[in-house]
Structure 1
Amino acid sequence: MREMGMQLLRGISKSLGLEECYIENKMKLESGYSVFGPNYYPALSQSSDDKNQIGQFPHRDPGLLVLLAQNVGGGLQIEHQKKWLNADFPPSSIFVIVADHIEILTNGKYKSLLHRVALNSEVERMSLPFFFGPSLDVTVKPEPEFVDDHNPPSYRQMTYKAYLESNDHHVIEARANLNQIRL
């Protein structure tokens, strides 16, 4: 998973017109902080009145990318133009989520994906997210390549470790952490 994340970040760097290893070097990925965090969502019972219960409330993830695998299709929803869309993808594939620190680094050129999990089927679901992040000591900020007179910095700088520590206190509002450092 780590190598897949590295390849994706190299592609993002190139898509921004930068050298292939730009994000890798800026975020000190040789000592990056990555976490594997499996989730279990039970099946809805036959007697459940609400067939659209939420298994995980709307949120964005810290880090650079989340590589997500799951055992069954369905459940993941993404917000697009103020509507929730099902992000159906086969169990044999990986769904890539752009996370907060790509948004910060690119000063908003790439956006962190707002998503949630709906318990909308009668089968249990397991998701296997791999959270791919920078080194804990790296200071993440809008980089100079994305800042100019027409695009001032949108976020204040903060170490990745400090951002993760503040995340524990701001889990209710979907964009709390980005709002906390937004200028």
Structure 2
Amino acid sequence: MTSLQIVDKNFSQVPIIDVSVLVYQTGNSSGETRQNRLEVAAQIRQACQDYGFFYIVGHGVDEQLQQQLEHLSQQFFAQDIETKLQINMAVGGRAWRGYFPVGNELTSGKPDLKEGIYFGAELEENHPLVKAGVPMHGRNLFPSNMPQFRETVLEYIESMTKLGHILMASIALSLALEESYFADRYTKDPLILFRIFNYPPNPSLSEAKSEWGVGEHTDYGVLTILKQDNVSGLQVKSKSGWIDAPPIPGSFICNIGDMLDRMTQGLYRSTPHRVLNQSKSNRLSFPFFFDPNFNVEVKPIELNEVVVNDDKSDRWDKASVREFRGTYGDYLLNKVSKVFPELRQTVF
């Protein structure tokens, strides 16, 4: 496993940041609180520049809610394939919601060794974006035989959306911007995408022969907040090579996406990552994507200290987020159409 050897001890562990001052003192304008918030923002800045990833603790998301979500997810994936396919993504249509079986999602054209369910913000049929047929907006699909699933998922999405707003305010501070910078321009009405993935045990535990749960990729938006179960598998491409980002009890792991890379002109890079389940048990993960509004045009921020370099040479897909022009929806649809090529033909 030479590709996972850690050469530089400075990059042997993704940093852990306590964000409780952001969560529990929101609205407190005292000088001490302001200073504490700036200190957290400085830690986030360092993490974003060194890794593009950081763990957070003190986030305030209810532990019982998380356990319920994990328990129900285990129940869902333990069912037979016919039952799970009752909410398959073809039923979700343009809303791009529902279940997909192992091998149906592609990364760089190769099937991932995972199954999952796609969710998003719950929008009624009379919502303007739903009526207009805008892709990736609409109602979620929930299993009819698990009545608690809907309530739990929607409560979790609500909690994580609040956390996303809090973290984006701190990321704005980390860039010496007003805390409301991203909310004012991009995320007042964010595009919320939530996934529950199940990675089955690998057919071969040898990395040279194993199938990737998900291959090397970067995320598309501004911020991903990931809940992991107790099974390792996430790997991050640090400056010294691939390193493990194992689950830490009570934490989430966050990473920045392509649009924040674009906005900061590469000061904060969207870091490649991948998943390899080397255990003999299933692995659950819960990525929550806090993204720009679907219809907003994403533009670079004027940052004095940034020197813009070509970003294609070292990207996993040899593409450039700097050269992109258009709305976030344009960027996202181009990406997801490659993830589910068969579904693309019927939805778009």
Please indicate the TM-score interval, normalised by the length of the shorter structure.
0.7 to 0.9
1:126 aligns with 2:253: no
AA at the equivalent of 2:206? D
TM-score, scaled to structure 1: 0.82
AA at the equivalent of 2:336? D
Of 145, 166, 176, 1:7 maps to: 166
1:141 aligns with 2:320: no
Identity %: 32
Alpha-carbon offset, residue 107 of structure 1: 1.1
Structure 2 match to 1:37: 195
Considering Cα pairs closer than 8 Å and 6+ residues apart, tell me whether 1 or 2 has the greater RCO.
1
Structure 2 match to 1:50: 206
Greater Rg, structure 1 or structure 2? 2
- Calculate the aligned-residue CA RMSD, in Å: 2.4
Alpha-carbon offset, residue 170 of structure 1: 5.0
Aligned partners of 2:212 and 2:275 also within 8 Å? yes
Structure 1 match to 2:238: 80
AA at the equivalent of 2:179? E
Alpha-carbon offset, residue 76 of structure 1: 0.3
CA distance in 1, matches of 2:332, 2:323: 16
TM-score, scaled to structure 2: 0.45
CA distance in 2, matches of 1:89, 1:70: 6
Structure 2 match to 1:165: 333
AA at the equivalent of 2:298? V
What is the DSSP-based 3-state SS (H/G/I as helix, E as strand, rest coil) of the residue aligned with 2:214? strand
Task: Map Cα deviations across residues 125-174 of structure 1 (whole Å, 9 max, x no partner).
Answer: 0100101101111001212x237996489434320110011103555xxx
1:89 aligns with 2:247: yes
Q: Relative to total residues, which structure has the larger helix share, 1 or 2?
A: 2
CA distance in 2, matches of 1:98, 1:149: 17
Task: Map Cα deviations across residues 22-61 of structure 1 (whole Å, 9 max, x no partner).
Answer: 111121x22210111111101235xx35255421000001
Aligned partners of 2:221 and 2:292 also within 8 Å? yes
CA distance in 2, matches of 1:36, 1:84: 26
Structure 1 match to 2:185: 26
CA distance in 1, matches of 2:283, 2:168: 28
Aligned partners of 1:139 and 1:159 also within 8 Å? yes
Aligned partners of 2:222 and 2:256 also within 8 Å? yes
Q: Relative to total residues, which structure has the larger strand share, 1 or 2?
A: 1
CA distance in 2, matches of 1:148, 1:115: 27
Distance 1:150 1:102, change over 3 A: closer
Distance 1:138 1:81, change over 3 A: same
CA distance in 2, matches of 1:106, 1:97: 14
1:66 aligns with 2:234: no
Alpha-carbon offset, residue 89 of structure 1: 2.5
